[in-house]
């Protein structure tokens, strides 16, 4: 018994944890920089540069669109050049865009902030593709949860100190500190992150080359449009919830404190939900955690539709839906690993990043339009869409994924690279 436990512990350290540890360290450092950067940027535009709300929103949206395009490009490039250099490029880009706080010229700031969206796209896809390539599939779910959690942890650690710095020293000092912190993070990535470009593809295929044929091969893979749909549908709900739920709570209570409490509780439970969903996927396979998550999204949407005029209903179902959407984000890495060869992970993850960006925009716009008709109508629509996602998930697992049991009784994700 003791020998068996020791062997399993040794195996976990050697094959599951250690390759991902440098990335998790990078995530903490990155979260300390670009989460506060994104938080304080709109304030900088308004207070120091005099941007109107419309101009501010347009610039932020431009950065999001740039990030979507960059994420798709970075995904395919990671298949060719390796995940490490996409990650390093993203960190270096975030460092450069930190100078927007130092150079208070509207035109320069606008260009730098669009570049920030591009940099975040490279950073995101570099990290995600690295994780799917180096992680033992038996622990990928938990590591996916930790990957997201460490970014949030970094933001929680960095925001208070940077907020104090901003109050005392101003935006220029804030930008310089961000720049130096990014440079430190980039140095850590260069020396501690190995490159993960595959020497050969799965199932005996050749490693990808920078060609149209590689891109077309990814686009033609039958599992890809299904994965894109499974990423897009819950993001519509999340895009609606992100905009509408704080507004609903504020209208029902007239209290900003209530909105802040909702945000805090949601963030805590979302982080825990990712770990629980990831560990469940490692232990029993990703089929049931994914199906349950889509079911909870649909149930949350139904609850928000029915109880949109009652504080307890908005708070309860909002928190459940928020946490479940985060859990699905972690599970998506498991689904990609289960249905796509390793040397195509980057391209597929890039497409999923694009689907997430479009889903966020679509969710917020559709939610804003439908709420003029009836407060709960946007959630009814998103709930129906995610009922369809449940059926699509069942078909996805029956068509593209098998779940063999590994030695020692630990379920692993197997693949039919159809």
Answer left, alpha or beta for residue 409, where phi above 0 means left and psi between -120 and 50 means alpha. left
Same fold, 2-196 and 217-400: yes
- Is the pLDDT confidence value at 368 over 90? no
CB atoms within 10 A of CB 397: 19
Task: Give the pLDDT confidence score for residue 90 in this predicted structure.
Answer: 92
Task: Give the pLDDT confidence score for residue 413 in this predicted structure.
Answer: 39
Rounded to an integer, what distance in angstroms lies between the CA atom of residue 208 and that of residue 224? 17
Task: Give the pLDDT confidence score for residue 6 in this predicted structure.
Answer: 60
- What residue segments make up the domains of the chain, in order of their start? 2-196, 217-400
Is residue 158 exposed (0-12), middle (13-18) or buried (19+ Cβ within 10 Å)?
buried
223 contact partners, CB below 8 Å, separation of at least 6? 339, 340, 396, 399, 400, 418
Can you tell me the mean pLDDT for 273-296? Answer: 89
User: Which of the pair, 233 or 401, is modelled with greater confidence?
Assistant: 233
Share of the chain above pLDDT 90, in %: 21
Rounded to an integer, what distance in angstroms lies between the CA atom of residue 18 and that of residue 139? 12
Can you tell me the mean pLDDT for 293-312? Answer: 92
Is residue 163 exposed (0-12), middle (13-18) or buried (19+ Cβ within 10 Å)?
middle
- Is the pLDDT confidence value at 175 over 60? yes
For residue 203, give both structure tokens.
Answer: 């199932």
Structure pTM? 0.76
For residue 72, give both structure tokens.
Answer: 């798709």
User: Which of the pair, 412 or 195, is modelled with greater confidence?
Assistant: 195
What are phi and psi for residue 326, nearest 5 degrees? -65, -40
Provide the terminal-to-terminal Cα distance of the chain, rounded to the nearest Å.
Answer: 40
CB 149, CB 30: distance < 8 Å: no
- Is the pLDDT confidence value at 372 over 90? no
pLDDT level of residue 53 (50, 70, 90 thresholds): low
- Is the pLDDT confidence value at 205 over 50? no
User: Which of the pair, 123 or 408, is modelled with greater confidence?
Assistant: 123
pLDDT level of residue 406 (50, 70, 90 thresholds): very low
Please write the tens of the pLDDT for every residue from 4-35.
656 654 555 555 566 778 888 898 888 888 77
For residue 369, give both structure tokens.
Answer: 């339009």
Task: Give the pLDDT confidence score for residue 232 in this predicted structure.
Answer: 94
Task: Give the pLDDT confidence score for residue 228 in this predicted structure.
Answer: 92
Helix or strand or coil: residue 200? strand
- Is the pLDDT confidence value at 301 over 90? yes
CB 244, CB 345: distance < 8 Å: no
Number of continuous H segments (helices) and E segments (strands) in the chain: 14, 0
Task: Give the pLDDT confidence score for residue 387 in this predicted structure.
Answer: 92
**C-alpha R_g of the chain:** 21
217-400 homologous superfamily: MFS general substrate transporter like domains (1.20.1250.20)
Task: Give the pLDDT confidence score for residue 294 in this predicted structure.
Answer: 94
Task: Give the pLDDT confidence score for residue 17 in this predicted structure.
Answer: 64
- Is the pLDDT confidence value at 229 over 90? yes
Rounded to an integer, what distance in angstroms lies between the CA atom of residue 208 and that of residue 216? 11
pLDDT level of residue 203 (50, 70, 90 thresholds): very low
Rounded to an integer, what distance in angstroms lies between the CA atom of residue 157 and that of residue 151? 10
Helix or strand or coil: residue 28? helix
Rounded to an integer, what distance in angstroms lies between the CA atom of residue 45 and that of residue 145? 33
- Any idea which fold 2-196 has? Growth Hormone; Chain: A; (1.20.1250)
Among residues 206, 231, 220, 201, the alpha carbon closest in space to that of 415 is found at: 201
In the chain, what's the furthest Cα-to-Cα distance? 67
pLDDT level of residue 202 (50, 70, 90 thresholds): very low
3-state SS, 278-331, equals HHHHHHHCCHHHHHHHHHHHHHHHHHHHHCCCCHHHHHHHHHHHHHHHHHHHHH
What are phi and psi for residue 324, nearest 5 degrees? -70, -35
Helix or strand or coil: residue 59? helix
Please write the tens of the pLDDT for every residue from 59-79.
777 887 888 888 888 888 888
């Amino acid at each position: 018994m003791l020998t068996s436990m020791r062997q399993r512990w040794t195996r976990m350290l050697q094959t599951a944890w250690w390759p991902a540890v440098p990335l998790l360290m990078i995530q903490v450092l990155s979260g300390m920089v670009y989460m506060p950067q994104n938080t304080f940027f709109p304030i900088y535009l308004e207070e120091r540069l005099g941007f109107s709300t419309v101009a501010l929103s347009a610039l932020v949206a431009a950065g999001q669109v740039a990030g979507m395009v960059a994420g798709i490009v970075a995904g395919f490039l990671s298949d060719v050049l390796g995940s490490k250099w996409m990650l390093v490029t993203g960190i270096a880009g975030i460092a450069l865009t930190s100078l927007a706080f130092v150079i208070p010229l509207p035109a320069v700031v606008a260009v730098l902030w669009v570049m920030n969206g591009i940099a975040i796209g490279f950073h995101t896809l570099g990290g995600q593709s690295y994780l799917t390539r180096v992680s033992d599939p038996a622990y990928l779910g938990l590591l996916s949860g930790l990957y997201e959690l460490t970014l949030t942890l970094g933001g929680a650690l960095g925001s208070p100190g940077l907020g104090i710095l901003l109050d005392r020293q101003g935006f220029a000092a804030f930008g310089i500190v961000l720049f130096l912190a990014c440079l430190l993070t980039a140095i850590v990535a260069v020396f501690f992150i190995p490159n993960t470009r595959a020497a050969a593809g799965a199932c005996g295929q050749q490693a990808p080359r920078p060609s149209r044929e590689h891109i077309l091969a990814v686009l033609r893979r039958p599992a890809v449009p299904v994965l894109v749909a499974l990423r897009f549908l819950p993001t519509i709900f999340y895009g609606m919830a992100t905009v509408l739920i704080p507004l609903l709570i504020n209208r029902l209570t007239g209290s900003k404190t209530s909105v802040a409490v909702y945000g805090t509780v949601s963030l805590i439970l979302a982080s825990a939900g990712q770990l629980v969903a990831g560990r469940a996927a490692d232990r029993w396979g990703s089929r049931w955690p994914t199906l349950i998550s889509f079911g909870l999204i649909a149930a949350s949407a139904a609850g928000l539709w029915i109880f949109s005029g009652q504080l307890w209903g908005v708070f309860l179902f909002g928190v459940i839906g928020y946490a479940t959407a985060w859990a699905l984000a972690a599970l998506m890495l498991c689904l990609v690993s289960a249905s796509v060869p390793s040397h195509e992970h980057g391209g597929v993850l890039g497409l999923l990043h694009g689907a997430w960006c479009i889903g966020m925009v679509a969710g917020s716009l559709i939610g804003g339009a439908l709420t003029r008709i009836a407060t709960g109508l946007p959630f009814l629509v998103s709930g129906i869409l995610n009922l369809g996602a449940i059926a699509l998930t069942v078909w996805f697992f029956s068509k593209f994924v098998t779940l063999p049991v590994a030695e020692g009784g630990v379920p692993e994700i197997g693949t039919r690279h159809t």
